[in-house]
Amino acid sequence: MNSASTYQAPLENERVYNLIWSQMPEMQNRHSSSWWFFLLFPKGPEGYGPRQLMFSIAARMGQRIRVNDSWLAGLDQRRTIRNGVDRFQAISVGWYCDGQQVHKDFLKQVASTVLSEPEEFIKCWSAPESGPRCGCEFRASADRDLALEAIVEGQNGRAHFQAWGDLVSTNSSPHESINIDTPLGGTHFIAWRRMNFAGDFDLPTGREHLEGICYFQRVCLNVPTFPWKWIWSLFPDGSMFSAYIPYIGLNLLRRGYTFFGSNRLEQATIPVAAAGFWDTPGPGEQITFSGAAITPILGQGEFPQFDVQVSNKQGDALSFLAAPYGHTHLYIDRPVWGDRRETHWSYNEYMFRMRDLNGRVAGRAINQATMGQGFGNLEYSWGLGL
């Protein structure tokens, strides 16, 4: 590898890659949460999708927390980290969408977790005495430089795959997409938005070798978990669109998987620092959108549909309807004030097809005829986890 063939210098790639194996304990406070997250889109007849898989390891500060009715000890801010080895309790979760049905019970396991900077891994496995091991680990690849390997053994499936980036652009390289540290808290994101993956999967529908494009993220959130809308989507040629919209509104007070009785109330939100981008495979800069809106529309079926609109001052614009065909739900409750109350944060993922795609990016017409069928994953979260 040499600097002429990469988006950023090899030493910078390595520096950011090494941060994957830390949850930045010096930045953590009583609101902190951390997660390591893979979202996989296998390549199929229609492009990348409609099948999707997700695997994650997550932890949160607190004496005890509840994640989807599973209790675990929260992160202890006073814990001792010896020689770069961090030990804590976490939950590993995973689901598989076969394009029609979502297998939500692929993996769910609370376990003692080890995060090792020197050995470059995070492991979240059940104790051997509790039966066949269950959980997952993400680690540095033994076969490739600056690549990741994942091993998953769930209650209803297994996976073993490697993921690597081409390192020729922002999104194909590991990078600090957000790095904010203030006395009041902050956020540190490692994003690797375009990775290749390949591996073997024992799925509820059978055993397969899968290849495709995936997204990896390591998040250290050192403020209360807040509401956001987020999209990551792919087209058959590998072009990628994403948008991220933190927001405030009545949804801060909502609990469980329910919706308001009208679109007017559901849509009564105020975006905060909304942004999006379009990225094509290979070298080159992404095209960014400073204006972005993701508007839920109720009453069109089992799930909300989402009207997506982005634009920038250069005249690039994109619009489509995100039409979900699957949904998963994760929520985190934390007792506070001597267990008299609980804070609640609800996280929903919708697998969707793009409909009514229309736009122009970098002078290119963007529609289904020019791009083919696009698929994506949309996060719609609400509540406030203090």
Tens-digit pLDDT profile for residues 302-315: 999 999 999 999 99
| 3-state DSSP percent of the chain in helix, strand and coil, to 5 | 10, 60, 35
Q: What is the pLDDT of residue 255?
A: 85
Quick check: 117 pLDDT over 70? yes
Quick check: 316 pLDDT over 90? yes
- Fold of the CATH domain 224-386: AttH-like fold (2.40.370)
Quick check: 54 pLDDT over 90? yes
Q: What is the pLDDT of residues 265-276, one digit of tens each?
A: 999 999 998 999
Q: What is the mean pLDDT of the chain?
A: 93
Q: What is the pLDDT of residues 81-94, one digit of tens each?
A: 999 999 999 999 99
Q: How many CB atoms lie within 10 A of CB 358?
A: 12
Distance, in Å, from the CA atom of 174 to the CA atom of 152, rounded to the nearest integer, reads: 22
Q: Which CATH class is domain 1-223?
A: mainly beta
Quick check: 1 pLDDT over 60? no
Q: Where are the domains of the chain?
A: 1-223, 224-386
Which of 202, 194, 188 has the alpha carbon at shortest distance from 232?
A: 194
Is residue 181 within 8 A of residue 220, CB to CB? The reply is no
Distance, in Å, from the CA atom of 276 to the CA atom of 289, rounded to the nearest integer, reads: 5
Q: Is 1-223's fold the same as 224-386's?
A: yes
Instruction: Please give the average per-residue pLDDT across 235-263, as a whole number.
Output: 93
Quick check: 184 pLDDT over 90? no
Distance, in Å, from the CA atom of 320 to the CA atom of 372, rounded to the nearest integer, reads: 13
